[in-house]
Amino acid sequence: MAVPHESPEKEYCSTSEAAQRLGLSLGTVQQMVENGQLDGWKTAGGHRRIRVSSIEEFRARSMAGSGAQTQARAPANTLQILVAEDDRILQKLYEHTFSSWGLPLQVRMVSSGIDGLLEIGRMSPDLLITDLRMPGIDGFEMIRRLRADPQLQELDIVVVSGLADDEILENGGLPADVILYSKPVPFRELKGYVQAKIMAMQRRGRAA
C-alpha cells in the first residue's frame, strides 16, 4: 500500500491499538497486515499504522461469519463449543450431529485460525474443536498462540484432522494435552468426551 502523506489519528492506529481492538496478539495483527487482511503501512521511522476502517470491516465480516451478532449468551450449565473447520459440509455435519444429541450445548463455527482467535476472545468457550489445515492462520499456529497466552493455556482443545502423524510432526507437533482424532469425524468418541465435560461442569456448579 502506498504511504499516505498525512494520516489523521482518527483514520489510523498503531499495531498495539489494533491488537487491543481485535483482542489479538501483536504478532497476529502484524501477520494480518502482511497477509492483506488489514490495510496498513509503515512510517519513515518503521512504525506500522493500520487503517481503522479496515479493522472495523474485518470485525464485521468475522461476526457475520460466526453468527455472533444473533446468538445469545449461553445459559448456565451449557457447554460452549467452538468448532474451527473450513469445510462447509463438515460444519453442517457438526451442527446437525450436535443438535441431535439433545445435550446442553451452544456451538459456534469459524472457518480459519484467525476467526477462531477472535471468537475465543469474545465467547470464552469451554471446548475448542479444530482442524489443522485452514486458510491464513492454520490450526497449528492457532493452538501455539492459545498455549502461549496465560489466560487461555487451560482451554480444552480437540483436534480432528486428516493429516498423518508424520505430517503433524513435520509441522511442529501438538501439545501433549491436546486430544487428537483422525477424520472422518469420530462423533461417537466426541459425544462421550462432551458428555464427560458436561457432567464435570455440573458437578462444579453443585459444589459452588
pLDDT in tens, 102-146: 999 999 999 999 899 989 988 889 999 999 999 888 999 999 999
The whole-number average pLDDT for the span 144-160 is 91
Task: Assess contact for 10 and 52: CB atoms under 8 A.
Answer: yes
User: What fold is seen in the domain 71-207?
Assistant: Rossmann fold (3.40.50)
Task: Report the amino acid identity of residue 8.
Answer: P
Q: What is the pLDDT of residue 62?
A: 66
Residue 144 neighbours by CB distance under 10 Å: 14
Q: What is the pLDDT of residue 160?
A: 97
Q: Is the pLDDT of residue 19 over 60?
A: yes
Task: Assess contact for 108 and 140: CB atoms under 8 A.
Answer: no
In SS3 terms, 130-180 reads as ECCCCCCCCHHHHHHHHHHCCCCCCCEEEEEECCCHHHHHHCCCCCCCCEE
47-104 pLDDT, tens digit each: 888 889 888 888 776 666 555 444 455 566 899 999 999 999 999 999 999 999 999 9
pTM for the structure as a whole: 0.71
Higher pLDDT, 42 or 180: 180
The whole-number average pLDDT for the span 145-159 is 90
Instruction: Name the burial class of residue 152, with classes exposed (0-12), middle (13-18) and buried (19+) by CB atoms within 10 angstroms of its CB.
Output: middle
Task: Report the amino acid identity of residue 43.
Answer: T
Q: Which residues pair with 41 in a beta bridge?
A: 49
Q: What is the pLDDT of residue 1?
A: 47
Burial annotation 112-128 (CB, 10 A radius, 16+ → b, else e): bbbbbbbbbeebebbbb
Name the DSSP letter for residue 77.
T
**Judging by DSSP bridges, how do beta strands 40-42 and 48-51 pair with one another?**
antiparallel
Domain ranges of the chain: 12-63, 71-207
Task: Assess contact for 87 and 182: CB atoms under 8 A.
Answer: no
Instruction: Name the burial class of residue 12, with classes exposed (0-12), middle (13-18) and buried (19+) by CB atoms within 10 angstroms of its CB.
Output: buried
The whole-number average pLDDT for the span 177-194 is 95
Q: What is the pLDDT of residue 68?
A: 44
